[in-house]
Amino acid sequence: MKRPQPTEFPPYYASYIDKVKSDDVVKELKDQILNFQAVISEIPEDKEGYAYAEGKWTIKELIGHVIDTERVFGYRAMCFARKDKTALPGFDENAFAANSNYNKRTLYELGHEFAIVREANLALFRSFGEEELSQIGNANSKDVSVRAIIFMVAGHATHHLNVLKTKYLLD
């Protein structure tokens, strides 16, 4: 799959897309499952509810945010690939986190859920041909291609994995 062109996504998503180092984004998405679970498995139990600053998400909420965003982006990709021209709304990630029960769940459950959601999205993304990948839709009042969404999914997970490692787990 070729990389998305800058005309295929809003400029603020470039930071996520730039985090995808390989042109084989599907392989990167697949590899992230084990990478994500490996990092989660090393988190000490006494740190699971840790937030590095006032008003920041806990480790569990950060992982939940990645899962929620994965679902939202997967839905957007499916709608646009299917040529649904309905403009899709944005979402408030802070409201999602505040109204979740991620802090009541185990890291094992969250890691497992991430893998399931990612595998479902991978099955969907692998089904797309060039025509589907090139479809443009509107989400959060911005135009974006299916191809760009797929790269955004990978870059978003990389971004939050890096945040987890640098802001939460450096002790």
Give the position of tokens 């997970």.
157
The pTM for the full model equals 0.96
Residue-range domain boundaries for the chain? 15-43+56-168
* pLDDT tens-digit map of 120-156: 999 999 999 999 999 999 999 999 999 999 999 999 9
Question: With contact defined as beta carbons under 8 Å apart, do 113 and 67 qualify?
Answer: yes
Answer for the pair 149, 77: CB distance below 8 angstroms, yes or no: yes
Residue 29 has pLDDT above 90, yes or no: yes
**Close Cβ partners of 45 (under 8 Å, ≥ 6 residues apart):** none
Q: Quick: pLDDT tens for 45-74.
A: 899 999 999 999 999 999 999 999 999 999
Find all residues with CB under 8 Å of 168, minimum gap 6, and list them.
47, 50, 52, 59, 62
Place of tokens 């802090």: 103
Token pair 């870059």 is at which residue? 155
Beta bridge partners of 88: 139
User: Residue 139's beta-bridge partner residues?
Assistant: 88, 142
Integer Cα distance of 128 and 67 in angstroms = 22
With 0-12 / 13-18 / 19 or more C-beta atoms within 10 angstroms meaning exposed / middle / buried, residue 93 is: middle
Query: How high is the pLDDT of residue 23?
Result: 84
Q: Which CATH architecture has domain 15-43+56-168?
A: Up-down Bundle (1.20)
Are 151 and 4 contacting, i.e. CB atoms less than 8 angstroms apart?
Answer: yes
